[in-house]
Structure formats: C-alpha cells, structure tokens
C-alpha cells in the first residue's frame, strides 16, 4: 500500500525533474541555435545505413519538457483518481511506458527508429483504452489500434521507399525532396493523419475516450495525438510548395470545422473535449500546411497545457458525480466545486483564445497569419466558422455543466476536497494562464508582422463573441418551447455523430469487407478457382496421362514405327 501511494509521487518527482532538465537544455539550445545529433549505426545494409538517431534541438527538448511536466501532473493526479483500482500499478507502468515511447518518438526523427516510439505509442494507447474491461472499451480500443495501424503501415511503406536514398533521416532529406517523392510524402501525410485523427480517420479519437480520464488528459489530448503534427513539423521542409500541402490544408480545415460542429451536438463531457482536441489538431495542421510550422509547434505546446488541464477538471467532475459523463446529468457545479470549476473555466477560456490566456497567443496569431496568407474563400470560411464554433461549444459546455440547473442524481457528493487532484492541476493551471505569453517570448524574439484590414483584424474577436453568445443563449429554453433539433432531425443526427464517421469506419467497413470475403470464398476459393484450379488441372493432367500411358502399353514394334513417324513429322516441321 505504501508503494501504491508513493508510485505516483515518485514518478511525478522524476518527471518534473526531467522536465526541468530538458526545459533548461531547450532554453540553452534556443539561445545558441545549435542542434545536437547523435547517430548510432546499428548495421549497414547494401549501402543503406540503419541508424538510431537522437536529435537534440530546441524543438524536441521543449516538447519533451512539456510531455514530462504534463505526465508528471497526470501521474500525481491519477494517484487519487485511480486509487480504488485493483490494477493501479499496471496503470502506472502503462502511463510510464507511454512517456517512454513518446520520448523515443520525439527524440529520434529517423523513419526507422521513429517506429520504435511510433508503434510503442499505438500499442500503449491501445492497452490504455482497453484498461477498463467493458465492451465499449474493447470496441473503442480495436478502432483505435486499427486506425493507427494504417499510419504504421504507411510509415513502413515509406521506409521501403526511402531505402533508395541510403538513409532514413527524413529530417535532413526532407530539404531535398522534390515532387518526384510524392508517394513518400503521401505516406507520411497518411501516417500523420491517422495519429492526429484527421478526417477519414477521426472516428477513433472520440472513441478512445473510453480510457480512464487521466489517460485522456495525457494521451488522447495533449501528447499522443500531436505526434502526427510533430512528424509533419519535422517533415515540413518537404511539404513546402507541394501538392500535399494544399490537400492537407483542405483536410485539416474540414476536420477543424467538423469537430467544432460535432462538439456542439455532443453530450458526453469527455467526447466534447476530445472533439475540441480534434478541432485544435485541425488548426495546427492547417497552419502547418500553410507553411508556418513554428506556429503549429507553438500552438501544439500551449494547447497541450490547457487541454490536459481541461481533461483533468473533467476527470474530477466525472469522479465526483459518480461515473456519469453525460452533461445532461450535471449542472450548477460552480456552487459545489468552485476551485475545479475555475480551473476548468480558465482552460476553456484559454481554448477559446480569450485575450492574454495561453491559447490567445498561439491561436490568435495562427488565425491572423492564416487570414494574411493566400487561402481561398472556403478555407477562410471554415477557419472563421470553426473559431466561432469553438467558443460556442465551450459556452454550451459551461452552460450545461457549470451553471444552469442542478441535474444530478438525488444522492451525490460533490466537493473540491481531493487535494491530490486539485494540487496536481495547479501547475497546469498556471501554464494555461501564462504558458502562451512565456512561450511566445521564448520562441519568437522577433514579432510576426501582421498586416490586416480592420474588419479582418476584428473578425476573430467578433466571431468569438458571437459564438459565445449563441452557445450560451441558444441553450435557454422556456417551458412550452418546441425543440428545433427534432424538426431538423436528420441534420442534427448527422452533425451529432461526427458526420457518421464512426459508423463508416467501423460498421460499413467491416460489413463490406466481410461480405466481400464471403463472396470471394464462395465464388472463388470454393468455386471457380477450385474448378479450374486444383480439381480442373488435376483432371486435365490425368487425361493427358492416360493418353501418354496408353501409348506406353505397346510392343517394341509399335514403338519403332512411332519413332519413325515422329522423325518424319519432325523432318517436315523443320523443312
């Protein structure tokens, strides 16, 4: 029991220490502008050297520092959240394994050695999603691992393609990849899209919310899902000016919009936050595909801070309302748990880009830079709408859970008294307030030059205010109010279920492939292939054999005659 309690404390201390070390190293690297590369050659194969690369520059070190600080808080937090669990130690080891594979992924941007971390992330996240052993978790886990597997396969194919270069250090080779490397770029984009749950693969991210909430806070919001963005940041030089860029822009803008819209119709607390994560991933990838990878990285870091905080608040709420995740079962929590609610509001406001919170510095800059660059009207529209929708679902969430009527069960015990949980949120709370400004001073010593017309400059603010008002006011109801959702049933259902993406990527996919397999087996394997394959060939050969054998059953005289005939036939043939 002593070990059980101290496990989370020890890991928290270790991780905070690691964060401090990597963070200060990152500061040194930023100051000096030096990148340290350590290559350990495992073996050389036909002139292609297979190396384990460690790249220590400010990007990887800063990312590591953030991963460590978030995982430290989350581990300490789960000391209370998972306290009653029978397999608490397994949970702790899994989260630590996650941190380990995350560091492998971050530190070695080499297409072969990244697989160690990349596959490790997939495996550990699967093990964490199915940590609870009910049917929902099992389904969600299968969806998660299989969607991620697509990306793993894409990386494997990319390894095959890159072997012609003689090395897999895409970090350096990406500067020299022209359009003839389109296929490799497509593969890497697909793997990034699966990890970051972009549109055709986005079903897994909300499904993965079946994992325990600390896991969602660490894995499925702030770090794992940004692995795809990180890969693209490292690969961004090759994306510059290629077709992939515009494709990725379209996909990520659509994801951003879809997730924002879906979150407005979602009732599961964790899934709302997951969808907002999805929307923010869309923001990161879209600005990356406009060519500003440093902005994407900036948003990645600040987003990690407040999103982890948001999830941890959600975890406390779920914990204290007794396992319920449906926001219809919550309400007026501000009366009972003021500290948690204020952390949650901070995180929410940071997410919306409320001025001078963490999200403001990154998101506002991203939007303004995007408005300034050459994008078409649809992309612009999607940006604007997604921004509004973000504020809208945030305020809807606030309305439903934090204010409004008390909707909980008649027996409930709500309080802020669990100091292990609230204390571990304090660092991230600080980060959600200050993180953006500190990071922007650190990463951008020179300001971005923003030159916009007044309308465009105010656009973000106006849209946000409008979205906030709509999100809050549209949820007021009077007694004899007829729900508009019922009258637009079909569109509401479509938006509420992520444009049917979970259905399409589970039921439809498996149904079609199973049917196809059944048909193939019936028609081909047990049908024509057998008829013309095994059985048919055997029949044919036996027939030929009987002819040949009957020729053999003759006397020597006939053989001599036959030989003469054959010789004559051959003579005629060759004449």
Partner 1 sequence: MTFPISYFLFFCTLLTGTSLSICSSSWFGAWIGLELNLLSFIPLIAIKLCPYATEAAIKYFLIQAMASTILIMSSSMHMFSNDFSYILITLSLLLKLGAAPLHFWFPQVIEGLTWPQAFILLTIQKLAPMFLISYLTYSSNLIFMITLAAILSSLIGALGGLNIMKLRKLMAFSSINHMSWMLIAMTINDMMWLTYFLFYSFISGSVIILLHSTQTYSISNLMNQNKNSSILNLLLPLNLLSLGGLPPFMGFSPKWIMIQLLSSKMMIFSLLVILFSSLITLYFYLRIFIPMILLSFPSFSSLLKIKSLWAFSPFLAIFTFINMFGLCLPIPFSI
Partner 2 sequence: MSHIVTRVTTHSRKVCSLYKRSLRNLEAWYDRRYMYRYRAVLLRARFDENKDVKDMRVAQQLLDEGEKELFSLIHYQPRQFAYSPGGVAHGREVVPPDWVLDYWHPMEKAAYPEYFARREQRKKEYIEWWEKTYGKPAEPAH
List residues near partner 2 by CB under 8 A.
86, 132-137, 210, 265-268, 322-326, 328-329, 400, 405, 407, 477, 479-481, 483, 485-486, 489, 492-493, 496-497
**Residues near 112 by Cβ (< 8 Å), separated by ≥ 6?**
50, 51, 159, 168
- Between CA 129 and CA 117 the distance in angstroms is 18
Least distance CB 231 / partner 1 (angstroms): 40
User: Is residue 49 within a helix (H) or strand (E), and if so which, with residue range?
Assistant: strand 48-56
Q: Give the nearer residue to partner 2 in terms of CB position, either 33 or 323.
A: 323
Stretch that binds partner 1, among 19-27, 233-241, 278-286, 550-558 (CB under 8 A): 550-558
Least distance CB 546 / partner 1 (angstroms): 8
Report if residue 539 touches partner 1, rule: CB under 8 A.
no
Stretch that binds partner 1, among 20-28, 123-131, 285-293, 562-570 (CB under 8 A): 562-570
Least distance CB 483 / partner 2 (angstroms): 6
Torsion of CA 536, 542, 544, 547, to 10 degrees: -150
Angle 216-217-221 (CA atoms, 0-180°, nearest 5)? 80
Report if residue 535 touches partner 1, rule: CB under 8 A.
no
Pick what 571 binds: partner 1, partner 2, none; C-beta below 5 to 8 Å, kind-dependent. partner 1
Report if residue 550 touches partner 1, rule: CB under 8 A.
no
Least distance CB 425 / partner 2 (angstroms): 22
Joined tokens for residue 355: 């001025």
Joined tokens for residue 393: 């679902």
Stretch that binds partner 1, among 7-15, 185-193, 211-219, 541-549 (CB under 8 A): 541-549
Least distance CB 551 / partner 2 (angstroms): 60
Q: Which residues of 470-506 are buried (b: 16+ CB within 10 A; e: fewer)?
A: bbbeeeeeeeeeeeeeeeeeeebeebbbbbebbeebb
Pick what 496 binds: partner 1, partner 2, none; C-beta below 5 to 8 Å, kind-dependent. partner 2
Q: Give the nearer residue to partner 2 in terms of CB position, either 345 or 497.
A: 497
Nearest to 501 by CA among 251, 213, 137, 319: 251
**Residues near 464 by Cβ (< 8 Å), separated by ≥ 6?**
352, 353, 387, 388, 390, 391
The bridge status of strand 36-45 relative to strand 48-56 is antiparallel
Stretch that binds partner 1, among 16-24, 125-133, 366-374, 548-556 (CB under 8 A): 548-556
Least distance CB 513 / partner 1 (angstroms): 32
CB 51 within 8 A of CB 42: yes
- Between CA 28 and CA 20 the distance in angstroms is 12
CA distances from 58 to 14, 113, 227 (A): 21, 20, 16
Least distance CB 399 / partner 2 (angstroms): 11
| 43 three-class SS | strand
Q: Give the nearer residue to partner 1 in terms of CB position, either 509 or 565.
A: 565
**Residues near 474 by Cβ (< 8 Å), separated by ≥ 6?**
396
Pick what 329 binds: partner 2, partner 1, none; C-beta below 5 to 8 Å, kind-dependent. partner 2
Report if residue 552 touches partner 1, rule: CB under 8 A.
yes
Nearest to 367 by CA among 493, 456, 479: 456
Pick what 447 binds: partner 2, partner 1, none; C-beta below 5 to 8 Å, kind-dependent. none
Query: Site residues (CB under 8 A) for partner 1?
Result: 541-542, 544-545, 548-549, 551-552, 554, 556, 559-560, 562-563, 566-567, 569-571, 573-574
């Amino acid at each position: 029991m002593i070990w059980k309690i101290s496990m989370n404390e020890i890991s928290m201390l270790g991780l905070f220490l690691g964060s401090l070390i990597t963070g200060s190293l990152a500061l040194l690297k930023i100051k000096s502008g030096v990148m340290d590369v350590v290559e350990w050659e495992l073996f050389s194969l036909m002139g292609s050297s297979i190396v384990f690369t460690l790249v220590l520059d400010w990007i990887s070190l800063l990312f590591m520092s953030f991963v460590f600080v978030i995982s430290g808080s989350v581990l300490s937090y789960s000391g209370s959240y998972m306290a009653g669990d029978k397999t608490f130690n397994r949970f702790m080891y899994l989260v630590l394994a996650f941190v380990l594979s995350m560091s492998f992924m971050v530190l070695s941007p080499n297409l072969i050695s990244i697989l160690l971390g990349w596959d490790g992330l997939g495996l550990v996240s699967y093990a964490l999603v199915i940590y609870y052993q009910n049917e929902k978790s099992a389904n969600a886990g299968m969806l998660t691992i299989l969607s991620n597997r697509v990306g793993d396969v894409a990386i494997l194919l990319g390894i095959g393609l890159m072997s012609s270069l003689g090395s897999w250090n895409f970090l350096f080779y990406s500067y020299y990849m022209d359009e003839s490397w389109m296929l490799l770029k497509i593969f890497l984009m697909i793997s990034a899209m699966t990890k970051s749950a972009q549109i055709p693969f986005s079903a897994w991210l909300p499904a993965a919310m079946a994992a325990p909430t600390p896991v969602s806070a660490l894995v499925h919001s702030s770090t794992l899902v940004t692995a795809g963005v990180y890969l693209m940041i490292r690969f961004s030089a090759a994306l510059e000016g290629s077709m992939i860029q515009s494709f990725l822009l379209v996909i990520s803008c659509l994801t951003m919009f879809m997730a924002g819209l879906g979150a407005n119709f979602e009732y599961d607390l964790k899934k709302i936050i997951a969808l907002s994560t999805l929307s923010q991933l869309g923001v990161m990838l879209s600005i990356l595909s406009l060519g500003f990878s440093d902005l994407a990285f900036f948003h990645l870091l600040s987003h990690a801070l407040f999103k982890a905080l948001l999830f941890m608040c959600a975890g406390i709420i779920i914990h204290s309302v007794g396992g319920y995740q449906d926001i219809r079962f919550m309400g007026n929590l501000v009366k009972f748990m003021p500290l948690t609610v204020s952390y949650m509001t901070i995180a929410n406001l940071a997410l919306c880009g409320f001025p001078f919170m963490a999200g403001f510095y990154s998101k506002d800059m991203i939007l303004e830079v995007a408005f300034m660059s050459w994008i078409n009207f649809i992309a612009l529209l999607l940006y604007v709408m997604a921004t509004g929708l973000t504020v809208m679902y945030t305020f809807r969430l606030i309305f439903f859970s934090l204010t409004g009527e008390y909707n909980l069960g008649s027996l409930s015990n709500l309080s802020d008294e669990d100091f292990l949980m609230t204390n571990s949120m304090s660092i991230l709370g600080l980060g959600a307030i200050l993180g953006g400004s500190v990071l922007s001073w650190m990463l951008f010593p020179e300001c971005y030059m923003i030159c916009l017309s007044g309308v465009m400059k105010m656009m973000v603010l106006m849209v946000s205010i409008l979205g906030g008002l709509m999100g809050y006011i549209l949820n007021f109801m009077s007694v004899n109010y007829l729900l508009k959702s019922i009258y637009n049933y079909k569109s509401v259902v479509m938006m509420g279920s992520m444009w049917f993406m979970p259905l399409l990527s589970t039921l439809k996919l498996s149904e079609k492939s199973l049917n196809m397999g059944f048909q193939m087996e019936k028609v081909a394997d047990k049908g024509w292939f057998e008829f013309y394959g095994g059985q048919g060939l055997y029949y044919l050969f036996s027939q030929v054999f009987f002819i040949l054998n009957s020729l053999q059953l003759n006397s020597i005289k006939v053989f001599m005659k036959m030989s003469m005939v054959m010789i004559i036939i051959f003579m005629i043939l060759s004449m």
